[in-house]
């Protein structure tokens, strides 16, 4: 995992450079697209760290699921790390979509229904405690305020749409991967579907086989760690490169050279 460790170090170094080099200019504002981009980038780094820990512990269950979310982060960042003037709307769409999602989830906690009561009992909290803790008693009002604040976004998509469907043609993650400016259709068909099998428990049956007639046995399949590691490293490497390019950071060639040398001798 030496190369993965090196990439994590380089990813964090690039993040530090973004703030020291790019946003050090007082005329450059940290806008909504930057908030979405940096948020996704930090999340991706943390997921790669978690992936590394599981691999080193040989805890196979869960590595596919994390690798899948790393791919999702990579695709989303590939969309956001494009022309800033074009993508500012995507950044806003991402942020408001996540905020609305959080509010709708919270609404289930405070709704006056049997379902809401069961959720509160499960969590051991009363409706009043939720409201007191958040200061939110009217979710619809909060969403209406967001609709006004992000009116530009909702001129291009509906609430039910995925945040990236601003062109009215990108209705699913598969369609996003198939877009020419993303160009990850093969990744979706092969890698994403492979990683998805664990999330949907479709690979659970592979752990059970018939030893004798009417006799079953559980087996632990050997995991293809090298394939998983190679894919995760590839996505992180590409994302770091795009961060350097998008924010016009110094040291891109040095970063690429460092990784090439590290890869050769490790």
What is the predicted pLDDT for the residue at 44? 98
Strand partners, 240: none
> pLDDT, tens digit, for every residue of 119-148?
999 999 999 999 999 999 999 999 999 999
What is the average pLDDT score of the chain?
A: 87
What is the predicted pLDDT for the residue at 223? 59
Within the chain, which residues score under 70 in pLDDT? 26, 60, 83-86, 198-224, 264-266
pTM (2 d.p.): 0.86
What is the predicted pLDDT for the residue at 265? 58
Max Cα–Cα distance, the chain, nearest Å: 74
Q: Determine the Cα–Cα distance for residues 179 and 24; give it in Å rounded to an integer.
A: 34
Q: Determine the Cα–Cα distance for residues 108 and 226; give it in Å rounded to an integer.
A: 42
């Amino acid at each position: 995992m030496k190369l993965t460790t090196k990439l994590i170090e380089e990813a964090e170094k690039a993040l530090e450079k973004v703030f020291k080099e790019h946003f050090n200019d007082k005329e450059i504002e940290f806008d909504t697209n930057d908030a979405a981009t940096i948020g996704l980038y930090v999340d991706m780094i943390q997921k790669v760290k978690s992936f590394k820990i599981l691999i080193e512990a040989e805890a196979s269950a869960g590595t596919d699921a994390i690798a899948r979310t790393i791919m999702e982060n990579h695709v989303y960042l590939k969309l956001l790390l494009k022309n800033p003037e074009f993508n500012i709307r995507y950044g806003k769409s991402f942020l408001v979509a996540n905020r609305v999602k959080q509010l709708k989830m919270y609404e289930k906690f405070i709704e006056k229904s049997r379902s809401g009561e069961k959720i509160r009992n499960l969590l051991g909290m009363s409706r009043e405690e939720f409201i007191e803790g958040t200061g939110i008693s009217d979710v619809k009002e909060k969403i209406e305020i967001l609709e006004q604040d992000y009116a530009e976004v909702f001129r291009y998509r509906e609430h039910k749409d995925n945040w990236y469907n601003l062109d009215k043609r990108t209705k699913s993650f598969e369609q996003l991967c198939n877009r020419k400016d993303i160009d990850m259709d093969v990744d979706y068909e092969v890698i994403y579907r492979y990683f998805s099998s664990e999330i949907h428990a479709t690979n659970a049956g592979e752990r059970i086989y018939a030893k004798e007639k009417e006799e079953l046995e559980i087996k632990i399949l050997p995991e293809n760690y090298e394939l998983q590691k190679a894919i995760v490293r590839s996505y992180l490497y590409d994302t770091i490169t795009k961060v350097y390019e998008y924010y016009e950071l110094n040291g891109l060639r040095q970063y690429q050279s460092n990784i090439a040398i590290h890869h050769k001798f490790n």
